[in-house]
Amino acid sequence: MKNFKNIVIYILIVLVLVLAIFVLFQYYSRVETVDKAVTKDEPEVVAVKIYYSNSVTNPAMLDCSLVFPVDRAVVGREKIYEETVNQLLLGPSKSEEQNGYKNLIPAETRLNFVKFSNGVMQVDFDKTLDQNIGGSCLVSAIRAQIESTVRQWPEVKEVLISIDGVSDTILQP
Protein backbone atom coordinates (compact mmCIF):
# COMPACT_ATOMS: atom_id res chain seq x y z
CA MET A 1 0.00 0.00 0.00
CA LYS A 2 2.88 2.28 0.80
CA ASN A 3 4.29 1.59 -2.63
CA PHE A 4 0.96 2.49 -4.26
CA LYS A 5 0.87 5.84 -2.41
CA ASN A 6 4.38 6.65 -3.58
CA ILE A 7 3.45 5.89 -7.18
CA VAL A 8 0.36 8.12 -6.97
CA ILE A 9 2.44 10.95 -5.46
CA TYR A 10 5.06 10.62 -8.21
CA ILE A 11 2.36 10.64 -10.89
CA LEU A 12 0.77 13.75 -9.36
CA ILE A 13 4.15 15.52 -9.20
CA VAL A 14 4.85 14.65 -12.85
CA LEU A 15 1.39 15.87 -13.89
CA VAL A 16 1.86 19.15 -12.00
CA LEU A 17 5.27 19.66 -13.63
CA VAL A 18 3.90 18.93 -17.11
CA LEU A 19 0.99 21.30 -16.51
CA ALA A 20 3.36 24.01 -15.23
CA ILE A 21 5.60 23.65 -18.28
CA PHE A 22 2.57 23.80 -20.58
CA VAL A 23 1.24 26.96 -18.89
CA LEU A 24 4.66 28.65 -19.02
CA PHE A 25 5.07 27.72 -22.68
CA GLN A 26 1.65 29.17 -23.53
CA TYR A 27 2.40 32.36 -21.60
CA TYR A 28 5.77 33.02 -23.24
CA SER A 29 4.48 32.12 -26.69
CA ARG A 30 1.67 34.64 -26.35
CA VAL A 31 4.03 37.41 -25.10
CA GLU A 32 6.38 36.80 -28.02
CA THR A 33 3.50 37.02 -30.51
CA VAL A 34 2.32 40.31 -29.05
CA ASP A 35 5.86 41.73 -29.14
CA LYS A 36 6.21 40.75 -32.79
CA ALA A 37 2.94 42.45 -33.70
CA VAL A 38 3.86 45.66 -31.89
CA THR A 39 7.39 45.92 -33.28
CA LYS A 40 6.39 45.09 -36.85
CA ASP A 41 8.56 47.17 -39.19
CA GLU A 42 6.95 46.05 -42.43
CA PRO A 43 5.50 48.97 -44.41
CA GLU A 44 1.80 49.01 -45.13
CA VAL A 45 0.68 47.91 -48.59
CA VAL A 46 -2.07 50.13 -49.98
CA ALA A 47 -4.42 49.22 -52.85
CA VAL A 48 -4.80 51.93 -55.50
CA LYS A 49 -6.49 52.24 -58.88
CA ILE A 50 -4.62 53.12 -62.07
CA TYR A 51 -6.65 54.28 -65.07
CA TYR A 52 -5.88 53.35 -68.67
CA SER A 53 -7.66 53.45 -71.99
CA ASN A 54 -9.13 50.13 -73.08
CA SER A 55 -9.63 49.04 -76.67
CA VAL A 56 -11.92 46.16 -75.66
CA THR A 57 -14.29 48.15 -73.46
CA ASN A 58 -14.17 51.25 -75.69
CA PRO A 59 -13.26 49.76 -79.09
CA ALA A 60 -14.04 52.68 -81.39
CA MET A 61 -12.68 55.28 -78.94
CA LEU A 62 -15.85 57.30 -79.51
CA ASP A 63 -15.21 58.97 -76.16
CA CYS A 64 -11.46 59.40 -75.84
CA SER A 65 -11.74 60.47 -72.22
CA LEU A 66 -13.11 57.08 -71.13
CA VAL A 67 -10.57 55.29 -68.97
CA PHE A 68 -10.89 52.14 -66.92
CA PRO A 69 -9.27 51.10 -63.63
CA VAL A 70 -6.82 48.34 -62.86
CA ASP A 71 -5.75 47.45 -59.33
CA ARG A 72 -2.24 48.07 -58.07
CA ALA A 73 -0.52 47.99 -54.69
CA VAL A 74 1.89 50.61 -53.44
CA VAL A 75 4.03 50.34 -50.35
CA GLY A 76 3.46 52.86 -47.58
CA ARG A 77 1.36 55.98 -47.36
CA GLU A 78 4.18 58.52 -47.10
CA LYS A 79 4.54 58.91 -50.86
CA ILE A 80 1.28 57.34 -51.99
CA TYR A 81 0.50 60.05 -54.57
CA GLU A 82 3.95 59.86 -56.14
CA GLU A 83 4.04 56.07 -56.12
CA THR A 84 0.59 55.87 -57.70
CA VAL A 85 1.54 58.20 -60.57
CA ASN A 86 4.73 56.20 -61.08
CA GLN A 87 2.59 53.06 -61.34
CA LEU A 88 0.54 54.83 -64.03
CA LEU A 89 3.72 55.61 -65.97
CA LEU A 90 4.84 51.97 -65.82
CA GLY A 91 1.87 51.06 -67.98
CA PRO A 92 -0.33 47.99 -67.95
CA SER A 93 1.01 44.51 -67.28
CA LYS A 94 1.20 41.96 -70.10
CA SER A 95 -2.08 40.36 -69.04
CA GLU A 96 -3.76 43.77 -68.82
CA GLU A 97 -2.50 44.58 -72.33
CA GLN A 98 -4.02 41.32 -73.54
CA ASN A 99 -7.31 42.52 -72.04
CA GLY A 100 -7.14 45.75 -74.04
CA TYR A 101 -5.61 48.20 -71.55
CA LYS A 102 -3.30 50.80 -73.11
CA ASN A 103 -1.15 53.53 -71.64
CA LEU A 104 -1.27 56.47 -74.03
CA ILE A 105 1.29 58.46 -72.04
CA PRO A 106 4.65 58.35 -73.88
CA ALA A 107 6.76 55.52 -72.46
CA GLU A 108 9.80 57.69 -71.67
CA THR A 109 7.79 60.18 -69.59
CA ARG A 110 9.15 60.74 -66.08
CA LEU A 111 7.49 62.25 -63.04
CA ASN A 112 9.23 65.32 -61.59
CA PHE A 113 7.03 65.76 -58.54
CA VAL A 114 3.55 65.53 -57.07
CA LYS A 115 2.39 68.27 -54.73
CA PHE A 116 -0.90 68.46 -52.86
CA SER A 117 -2.21 71.66 -51.27
CA ASN A 118 -5.72 72.90 -50.42
CA GLY A 119 -7.50 70.30 -52.53
CA VAL A 120 -5.27 70.88 -55.59
CA MET A 121 -2.97 68.11 -56.78
CA GLN A 122 -0.16 69.33 -59.03
CA VAL A 123 1.41 66.56 -61.07
CA ASP A 124 4.58 67.70 -62.84
CA PHE A 125 6.22 65.67 -65.60
CA ASP A 126 9.31 66.09 -67.75
CA LYS A 127 9.00 67.49 -71.28
CA THR A 128 8.56 64.01 -72.79
CA LEU A 129 4.88 64.10 -71.84
CA ASP A 130 4.13 66.77 -74.45
CA GLN A 131 6.46 65.67 -77.26
CA ASN A 132 5.05 64.21 -80.47
CA ILE A 133 1.52 64.33 -79.07
CA GLY A 134 -1.09 65.43 -81.53
CA GLY A 135 -4.82 65.33 -81.86
CA SER A 136 -7.51 66.19 -79.41
CA CYS A 137 -8.46 62.53 -78.83
CA LEU A 138 -4.97 61.52 -77.68
CA VAL A 139 -4.61 64.64 -75.50
CA SER A 140 -8.01 63.98 -73.96
CA ALA A 141 -7.12 60.34 -73.24
CA ILE A 142 -3.80 61.26 -71.59
CA ARG A 143 -5.47 63.91 -69.43
CA ALA A 144 -8.18 61.42 -68.43
CA GLN A 145 -5.61 58.78 -67.42
CA ILE A 146 -3.72 61.22 -65.19
CA GLU A 147 -6.75 63.00 -63.72
CA SER A 148 -8.76 59.84 -63.02
CA THR A 149 -5.78 58.16 -61.36
CA VAL A 150 -5.17 61.17 -59.10
CA ARG A 151 -8.84 61.89 -58.35
CA GLN A 152 -9.37 58.53 -56.66
CA TRP A 153 -8.68 60.27 -53.36
CA PRO A 154 -11.62 62.30 -52.04
CA GLU A 155 -9.36 65.10 -50.83
CA VAL A 156 -8.33 65.90 -54.43
CA LYS A 157 -10.76 68.48 -55.80
CA GLU A 158 -8.68 69.76 -58.72
CA VAL A 159 -5.80 68.36 -60.77
CA LEU A 160 -3.12 70.61 -62.26
CA ILE A 161 -0.91 68.89 -64.84
CA SER A 162 2.37 70.63 -65.57
CA ILE A 163 5.60 70.05 -67.46
CA ASP A 164 8.75 71.36 -65.81
CA GLY A 165 6.56 73.70 -63.74
CA VAL A 166 4.58 75.13 -66.69
CA SER A 167 0.89 74.25 -66.95
CA ASP A 168 -0.79 76.73 -69.30
CA THR A 169 0.53 75.42 -72.64
CA ILE A 170 0.75 71.68 -72.12
CA LEU A 171 -1.28 68.88 -73.68
CA GLN A 172 -2.80 71.09 -76.35
CA PRO A 173 -4.38 69.33 -79.36
Enclosing H/E stretch for 107: none
According to the model, what pLDDT value does residue 152 have?
96
d(CA 106, CA 9): 83
Number of independent structural domains in the chain:
2
CB atoms within 10 A of CB 171: 18
- Is position 36 within any domain? yes
Same domain, yes or no, for 91 and 112?
Answer: yes
Same domain, yes or no, for 58 and 125?
Answer: yes
Same domain, yes or no, for 32 and 65?
Answer: no
pLDDT tens, N- to C-terminus, the chain (173 residues): 677 777 878 888 888 888 878 777 777 766 545 445 545 567 789 999 999 999 998 888 888 899 999 999 998 888 999 999 999 999 999 999 999 999 999 999 999 999 999 999 999 999 999 887 778 889 999 999 999 999 999 999 999 999 998 887 776 65
- Is position 140 within any domain? yes
Same domain, yes or no, for 156 and 76?
Answer: yes
Burial 84-98 (b: 16+ CB within 10 A, else e): bbebbbebbeeebee
- Is position 172 within any domain? no
Give all strands of the β-sheet with 68-75 in edge-to-edge order.
68-75, 45-54, 101-102
Same domain, yes or no, for 5 and 90?
Answer: no
CB atoms within 10 A of CB 25: 10
- Is position 173 within any domain? no
Same domain, yes or no, for 50 and 110?
Answer: yes
Alpha helices for the chain (secondary structure H): 2-38, 80-90, 94-98, 136-150
Is the CB of residue 140 less than 8 Å from the CB of residue 47? no
Evaluated on CA atoms 148, 150, 152, 155, the torsion sign reads negative
Same domain, yes or no, for 32 and 114?
Answer: no
Is the CB of residue 139 less than 8 Å from the CB of residue 105? no
According to the model, what pLDDT value does residue 121 have?
95
- Is position 170 within any domain? no
Same domain, yes or no, for 78 and 129?
Answer: yes
- Is position 110 within any domain? yes
According to the model, what pLDDT value does residue 173 have?
59
Same domain, yes or no, for 82 and 37?
Answer: no
Q: Which domain holds residue 9?
A: 1-41
- Is position 171 within any domain? no
d(CA 58, CA 135): 18
Is the CB of residue 115 less than 8 Å from the CB of residue 132? no
Same domain, yes or no, for 88 and 67?
Answer: yes
Same domain, yes or no, for 73 and 18?
Answer: no
d(CA 131, CA 65): 20
